Amino acid sequence: MQDILIVEGKLKEALSTIPELRTVESYEGTIEDLAGSTRLPAALIVYGGARAQSEEGTRAVQTKVDVYFTVYVIAKNTRGKAEASVDVRTLLEVSRNRIHALAFNGITVKWEEETLEMMTPDGICAYAQHYRYQDYIVKEKGLIK
């Protein structure tokens, strides 16, 4: 199974090619905490966990693992909330185009959905883009490693 930090690094690498983004980084807090501390527009990458489904064979256990990441695309507009959404939507499309179908080390990252997470009175919009990839763990029965 891929190391989560390697996958996160590949996502950062892809998003760093978007010149409009002033901040691209991993994040482990809440979106509300970001308002004054992050240079906008920003893309923040959050590991969302994993879900496993195992199949047992005669010699090994193979586990299919769905691994989830969320990219928060956040922007502020000084002209008003309605225009901020337009600016953010452009960044959403560009971000989605950089990450959806990103393939490396035998995995392919796929876009699943997008949701509005926050819109503040001062024009900050935060959207969550949800991504998933599938990986596998195969372990032979009876072996301790």
Residue ranges of domains in the chain, CATH in brackets: 4-140 (3.30.2000.10)
- CA–CA separation, 65 vs 2, rounded Å? 10
DSSP-derived secondary structure for 112-143 = EEEEEEEE-TTSEEEEEEEEEEEEEEEEETT-
Average of pLDDT values for 72-96?
75
pTM: 0.84
The mean pLDDT of the chain is: 85
Q: pLDDT tens-digit profile of 53-80?
A: 877 776 677 789 999 999 999 987 655 5
Q: pLDDT tens-digit profile of 32-50?
A: 666 567 888 999 999 999 9
Q: pLDDT tens-digit profile of 114-127?
A: 999 888 887 788 89
10 — phi, psi (to 5°)? -65, -40
Q: What is the model's pLDDT at position 56?
A: 73
Q: pLDDT tens-digit profile of 15-31?
A: 999 999 999 999 887 76
